[in-house]
Structure formats: structure tokens, C-alpha cells
Amino acid sequence: MRVAILSESEYDEGAVRILIDGILGSSTEPVPVPVARNGWASVRIILPVAIKHLHYGTGAEALVVGVDSDDSPVHQPIHNPLSGAYQECRVCQLHAVVANTEGQLRRISGRPRMKIGIGMAVPAIEAWYRCGIDPHATEAAWIQALQSKIYPYTRVSLKEAVYGVSRPSRVLKTGRGTEEARRLVQDLLFLEQWFPSGFGLLAEGVRNWEA
């Protein structure tokens, strides 16, 4: 399957691909997304351009979009992305962008619609990397922290825990991410259990691609 990945940093995308391959049970063929991105805001802005490029300019069968929740609300299954009721939820915002962009696309005969999956790391992808290592690295713990304003970790401290340094290099980020993804892919249900909304819903959606 030809799959493109768009996340907040290109350095995370190797790890995300390992997880997607694990969900699908087979190796995907990478489709490059030649757009610069740096953080949530840039993903939101460039997503329509990326979808159009992949639709018209490549044979991509699927796109996986991954963002961090940072301090925004954690996506919940009860959210209805198209109702506009959860405007602060990043997953809902991205679903709305996808729906709007897909509505503008000209169909290409013989090509099925590109499948799109959206995942959200809570609060950052480094929390996924800590899953199974740090018992506080869970979605539930972060949701509680958002409510109580008492945080078990910060995005910066998560990075330090994963990379061992406060300012990881590109090589270190890519290498550690890949390493942790290889560990996580051994038991994806564990990651789904502790990150049910951000990763679980993505995994469920990706599994449905095969149907």
C-alpha cells in the first residue's frame, strides 16, 4: 500500500510509519510529502496543499496525519468533527479541513478516494515513546492533568526523558523514535489501551482501510 505520512516533524515520520506498518501487518510504500512542516500550526495550514498534491500528483492510496495535542483538549469519540462543537480539538479541526479539501477535489477516473487517518499524540509523540516505561505517560493521566493543572511532566521534560538531552539533534530524534516504535509495535494493543483516542482511534481507522 502506498502511504504518505504528514506529521509535525519529518523526524517523527519514520517512527509513525513503523506503527502504521504494524497496524496493517505489512510494509507500506512511502510516498513523500514534499512540504516543510514545523509544529501543529504548519500541519493545519499545509494539509489542504498536501492532500491536493497527493491526490493529483502521486498514486498515494492513503495519508496518515499525526499531530501533538500539546495543551489542547484531547479528542474523544463523542466529538463530531463536522458539527463544529469541538473547535479546540485538533483532530476535529483536521477532520474538518480534510472534509473541506476533499469536497474541492476533482475525481480521477479509476482512482479510489485516498484514505486518510488522523492521529494525535497526547501531549506529544514522546509520550507514546514512553508508553510502557513511564506509568504516567498515558492519555488518562494527561487528561487529568489538564483538569487539575498539576502536570506529571511537560513536553520539554518528556523530550529529556526520551532523548536524554534537552535539545536532541535530528539524528538522535530519528534514531530514538525508530527504536521506540520498534519496541511499541511488538504490542500495539498496549499502546492503543493507554492512548485510546489519539492512537486507538487511528489504529481502528487504519484497520478499516483493509475492509
Partner 1 sequence: MIESVQFRNFRVLRDTTLPLSRFTLLLGPNGSGKSTALQALEAVQRRLSESGGWVRFEQVITTGLAVSEATEVEVLLCWSAPCAGMTTQVIWSQSFPKSTVKHVNSEGEGPSPQDGGPLSAMLAGIRVYSLDATQIAAGVRLVPSMELGRGGAHLAGVLDRLRDDAPERFKALNEEWGRWLPEFDQILFDTVGEGVRAFRLRTRQGHYAMPASDLSQGTLLALAILTLAYLPNPPAMVCFEEPDRGIHPRLLRDVQDALYRLSYPESFGETRPPVQVLATTHSPYFLDLHRDHPEEVVIASRIGQEARFERLSDRRDLEEILGDAPLSEVWYSGILGGVPVER
Give me the residues that bind partner 1 (CB under 8 A), please: 36, 38-42, 70, 72, 155-156, 159, 163, 165-172
Residue 210 CB neighbours (<10 A):
11
| Residue closer to partner 1, measured from CB, 39 or 59 | 39
The closest alpha carbon to 98, from 62, 70, 151, belongs to: 62
Is residue 33 within 8 Å of residue 50, measured between CB atoms?
yes
CB of 114 to partner 1, least distance (A): 25
Amino acid at 88: E
CB of 41 to partner 1, least distance (A): 5
| Residue closer to partner 1, measured from CB, 70 or 204 | 70
How far apart (Å, rounded) are the C-alpha atoms in residues 40 and 9?
9
| Residue closer to partner 1, measured from CB, 28 or 174 | 174
Is residue 35 within 8 Å of residue 12, measured between CB atoms?
no
| Residue closer to partner 1, measured from CB, 42 or 76 | 42
Give, as one character, the DSSP assignment of residue 10. Answer: G
| Residue closer to partner 1, measured from CB, 39 or 77 | 39
CB of 167 to partner 1, least distance (A): 5
The closest alpha carbon to 61, from 4, 114, 116, belongs to: 114
Give, as one character, the DSSP assignment of residue 187. Answer: G
CB of 57 to partner 1, least distance (A): 19
C-alpha cell at 82: 463536522
How far apart (Å, rounded) are the C-alpha atoms in residues 198 and 124?
10
CB of 193 to partner 1, least distance (A): 29
